[in-house]
Amino acid sequence: MKIHILGICGTFMGGIAQLAKARGHEVSGSDRHVYPPMSTQLEQAGIGLREGYAPEHLQPPPDQVVVGNVMRRGNPAVEYMLDAGLPYTSGPQWLGEHILAGRHVLAVAGTHGKTTTASMLAWILERAGHAPGFLIGGVPQDFGVSARLGRGRHFVVEADEYDTAFFDKRSKFVHYRPRTLVLNNLEFDHADIFDSLADIQRQFHHLVRTVPGRGRILVQAEDRALAEVLEQGCWTPVERFGEAEQADWRVEPVAADGSAFRIHHPGGVETIRWRLLGRHNTLNGAAALAAAAHAGVAPAQAARALETFRGVKRRLEVFGEVAGITLYDDFAHHPTAIRATLEGLRRHGRGRIVAVLEPRSNTMRMGVHRDRLAEALRPADAVYLFRPADLDWDLGTVARPLGAVIEDSVQSLVTRLQDDLRPGDRVVVMSNGSFGGLHRRLAEALQVTHAG
């Protein structure tokens, strides 16, 4: 089958492309911005890429067009597809029908921690010999790719609540029909498509409705918003994880920075010492252990796998060390995630923490979280903020209580950091995008400053 993917260079749709190729399909794709690292991954897989959305990309007509959720009516390729009557579907629906059908699907949902928890779960299953397939919205360090077909019956999927496509406004995850479902946490996010937390809870309720009675739902014990979702109706056995006494999988901190913790579970206790940091990651680890147990992996075996887990790219990932200055790349773009990242680092090691933030997500650009942002950044010793040209609210409301620096260009931000940073600093660059190449430019600038 010839498949053409519109919006192929996003992490999710790029993963769909690789899975389709692994299934033996002839795959091509179009995107407005064809650039590494996804373009490199796809080209190495033998997938043809086209820049832009010209109707000619759909000529001769493919057997099926898979449409990414970035596509909108009025796009030339979309209009041609509809006018020509080409068969089309969404990425999540294609995944559900062609990859997940007949497999034991383990889905990880929630506002925060989906990528890390799904990566942990895939790694546990891998170390246990299950050779799982997976589709994750990031790149697990232990696998080096975001998607894999796998040889076993298990498939791990990061279950995103964002909408499916311009013609299907349900959340992506309703297409996945998991047998094992992790519900990590739930807060208001994606203000560009949801009007309230209740709207998101309704979508999570739809997801819960798809889990079979012989399945399992693992839910964070302390999360009230998730409790309200389950109160709307639940037909599946539930186990809870967290620090609460009533949790079936209870986290007991061993090290203040989260680098060691215990899991008390129905069969005993496991102590885990690993390379990750932060309370949030200990909760992610508990969720992964509980989900793996439902897939048949003993907690002791799962715990040993977590101790070898190397983490996920762009999740407090060290991207450089120059003259005693450590540079971290982090995907955090929600106040809760920002604070969790900074607090985890605060409890680990010494040296100033310098936070550099790009308010890039749609929700952040709309100013939905601006009243919480200053408090989220407070664990940092110094804060630098990038002001995009199209930001429609006053970033000064965040900067003033923190004494933060605001810069209007990436280059001016690099120059300011180059002058202000000193040996021993730990710089956390936070953005859910490329941040205009700031990571590379800052590393190069510091090398020049401290040369010799």
- The string of DSSP codes covering 181-218 is EEE-------TTT-SSHHHHHHHHHHHHHTS-TTSEEE
User: Which positions ≥6 away from 24 have C-beta within 8 Å?
Assistant: none
Q: Give the whole-angstrom CA distance, residue 298 versus residue 292.
A: 8
Q: Give the whole-angstrom CA distance, residue 424 versus residue 427.
A: 10
Report the candidate in 243, 134, 264, 240 with the shortest Cα–Cα distance to residue 184.
240
Using alpha carbons, list the distances in angstroms from residue 439 to 327, 328, 371, 443: 8, 9, 27, 6
Residue burial 312-351, b: 16+ Cβ < 10 Å; e: rest: bbbbbbebbebeebbbbbbbbbbbbbbbbbbbbbbbbeeb
- Identify the residue whose tokens are 């010793």: 381
**Element spanning 138, H or E:** none
Alpha helices by DSSP H, 112-158: 114-127
Q: Give the whole-angstrom CA distance, residue 307 versus residue 124.
A: 10
- Burial class, 231, CB count within 10 angstroms (exposed 0-12 / middle 13-18 / buried 19+): exposed
Residue 323 identity: A
114 and 108 Cβ atoms separated by less than 8 Å: yes
Which pLDDT belongs to residue 362? 67
Q: What count of other Cβ atoms lies within 10 Å of the Cβ of residue 149?
A: 17
Q: Give the whole-angstrom CA distance, residue 151 versus residue 155.
A: 10
Q: Give the whole-angstrom CA distance, residue 277 versus residue 116.
A: 12
Q: Give the whole-angstrom CA distance, residue 9 versus residue 7.
A: 6
CA-angle at 174, arms to 173 and 177, nearest 5°: 95
What's the pTM? Answer: 0.85
340: its two tokens: 């969790």
Domain boundaries, the chain: 2-91, 102-307, 317-449
Q: Which residues partner with 80 through β-bridges?
A: none
Classify domain 317-449 at the CATH superfamily level.
Mur ligase, C-terminal domain (3.90.190.20)
CA-angle at 297, arms to 294 and 301, nearest 5°: 140
User: Which positions ≥6 away from 347 have C-beta within 8 Å?
Assistant: 256, 257, 258, 277
Q: Give the whole-angstrom CA distance, residue 407 versus residue 28.
A: 40
Domain 2-91 architecture: 3-Layer(aba) Sandwich (3.40)
Class of domain 102-307: alpha beta
Which pLDDT belongs to residue 167? 96
- Identify the residue whose tokens are 């040889």: 151
CA-angle at 147, arms to 144 and 148, nearest 5°: 95
Tens digits of pLDDT across the chain (452 residues): 999 999 998 889 999 999 999 999 999 999 987 766 677 778 888 898 999 999 999 999 999 999 999 999 999 999 999 999 999 999 999 999 999 999 999 999 998 889 999 999 999 999 999 999 999 988 888 898 889 999 999 999 999 999 999 999 999 999 999 999 999 989 877 767 788 899 999 999 999 999 999 999 999 999 999 999 999 999 999 999 999 999 999 999 998 888 899 999 999 999 999 988 888 899 999 999 999 999 999 999 999 999 999 878 777 778 778 888 888 888 776 787 788 888 878 877 788 999 898 887 766 766 677 778 888 888 889 888 888 877 878 878 888 888 888 888 888 888 888 888 888 898 888 887 777 788 888 888 888 777 65
